[in-house]
Amino acid sequence: MRGPMARRSRAHGVSRDGGGSAELPRYQQVADELMKRIGAGRYPVGALLPTEMELCTQYGVSRHTVREALRLLSDAGLISRRRRIGTEVVARTPAAAYRQPTNSIADFLQYAEASRVVVLRTRRVTSDAALAEMLECRPGDRWLRIESVRTMPGDARPICFTTAYVDAGLPGIEARLEQLSGPISAMLERVYGLHIARVDQTIEAVRIPKRLAAALYAELGGPALRATRRYYSEHGALIEHSSAVHPGDRFTYVTTLVRA
């Protein structure tokens, strides 16, 4: 990890009389102490940190100093701050952002080997004119809408929130999704023999909407990447449509281009 959180304070704690390492800014001293307490389990994952005012009193610092310290913890992926709820601990150690190589269709189908998919809900829908245009089908066609999150081991914060559509007519599809651990697209190939010959992807910068902020442990309106993918068969039929919203600090796309 780079930046101020990567360095450890030489102090054993942060005292109210201004003790601690004089070489570090006061907000970093507070952040280092809180990080140490989180790592030791004094503030376990799922617990709330003291309020800003309580931290001000505890460390004898201003509210601005406390907010800067909490910003460092948030940037390190240790806490999630939500209005009217408080500051929740979401990880014991800083998590590195996930990097996805995207150099081939195999990368799309296999990139999630180290991650876990949790299906939140499924719903059968009938395509209206707008949905039919998005899914390249006829109005009235039936689809299964799937909402899920993806996480990495040791980090409670999801990498992304994904909304996907697949053919509702696939036999036993709901049961297959209940057992899902990897990408939907890989399962469709393995179980149903649907060969994916082409993937179209569009990536755009967005802000995290209200309905996804809580599920992503992310700040409402924070920066995010939205990756929209369309998976096609060799005959040009759409097999799956997915839209994944990734908080900006948790995901990096890596592409290698080679001149032919």
| Rounded Cα distance, 258 and 260, in Å | 6
Question: Which is nearest to 163 in space by CA: 142, 176, 144, 140?
Answer: 144
Average pLDDT, the chain: 82
- Both 34 and 111 in one domain: the answer is no
Final residue belonging to a domain, choices 42, 61, 89: 89
Encoded tokens for 118: 């949790």
**For a pLDDT cut of 70, what percent of the chain falls above it?**
78
Sequence-distant (6+) residues with CB within 8 A of 34 are 43, 49, 69, 70, 73
Element (H, E) at 191: helix 184-192
Position 260 in a domain = no
pLDDT band at residue 139, thresholds of 50, 70 and 90? very high
pLDDT at residue 94 greater than cutoff 70: no
Residue 259 lies in a domain: no
Q: Is the pTM of this model over 0.85?
A: no
The predicted pLDDT at position 187 comes to: 92
**Is there a single domain that holds both residue 19 and residue 60?**
yes
> Is residue 40 domain-shared with residue 104, that is, in the same domain?
no
Residues 50 and 141 in one domain: no
Is residue 130 included in any domain, yes or no? yes
Q: Are residues 112 and 241 in the same domain?
A: yes
Q: How do 98-101 and 251-254 pair as beta strands?
A: parallel
For residue 233, the model assigns a pLDDT of 93
Mean pLDDT across 19-37:
74
Q: Extract the tokens encoding 163.
A: 């909304």
Q: Give the whole-angstrom CA distance, residue 43 versus residue 236.
A: 52
Structural domain boundaries, residue 176: 98-254
What's the pLDDT tens digit per position in 171-212? 999 999 988 878 899 899 999 999 999 999 999 999 999 999
Q: Are residues 64 and 162 in the same domain?
A: no
Number of domains in the chain: 2
Q: What CATH number is attached to the domain comprising 117?
A: 3.40.1410.10
103 shares its domain with 76? no
Q: Is 79 in the same domain as 145?
A: no
Give the pLDDT confidence score for residue 206 in this predicted structure.
Answer: 96
